[in-house]
Amino acid sequence: MRPVAIFRHSPTEGPGYFAIFLERHGIPWELIAIDEGAALPAKAGAYSGLCFMGGPMSVNDPLPWIEPSCALIRDAVAGNIPVIGHCLGGQLMSRALGGRITRNPVKEIGWCMASAEDNAIARNWLGGYAGQPVTVFQWHGETFSLPPDASRLLTSDYCANQMFALGPHLGMQCHVEMTPEMIAAWCEQWADEATTVADRPSVQEPATMLAEMADKLPVMRQLSEQLYAVWIEGLAR
């Protein structure tokens, strides 16, 4: 089986639970560390799927790998190779497929309740979560619009588009890939960003995120299991 390519854009925003899930299902994966200067492949055909992780930069920044990433996403979609994106990765997917990336009305940081849509596509991806409130983790200040023909799966009070599906492809604004180690690292690395806007209802203090992790991470893990299980069904075997 061809490996899943995982693109990392920041040292502390690695594949997290996504890679653990792949390994538990016997699916090989290859890390492409964009943050260390790794080159993007020109074509997606060497991989069974593509996964784009998060990062503190903006998809609208003039970075040399933004447009090649978008071209690679379009190549994968044209070849029916599943693509999945987490936060920045979901924004890359949106931009590549005709959406726009803009500033969200507020920052979302920390644990958040989102609402799942209830339609045929949402039920396929979300299973029993369709039409229900779900727990997700957030750390973003921008948001994506839905690409043409995409279906929204999740929304929240502070960010309209939390997740979309387009055929076998899944773009997410939220972070369902989190591990305890990643949450601890972000709370230390970006504590000032959260603290300076912690008076807003869409933001939690780092201490609160860490205190709630024991209860909320296992709940979100069940959601990520559901989503990843559907996504891997589309992989080329």
Question: Is-contact 172 162, C-beta < 8 A?
Answer: yes
What is the pLDDT of the chain when averaged over all its residues?
Answer: 97
173-228 confidence digits (pLDDT tens): 999 999 999 999 999 999 999 999 988 999 999 999 999 999 999 999 999 999 99
Question: Is-contact 35 11, C-beta < 8 A?
Answer: yes
pLDDT-flagged residues of the chain (< 70): none
3 state SS of 48? coil
Beta strands per DSSP E along the chain: 4-8, 29-33, 49-52, 83-86, 101-116, 133-144, 151-155, 163-166, 169-172
pTM: 0.97
Structural domains in the chain plus CATH codes: 4-232 (3.40.50.880)
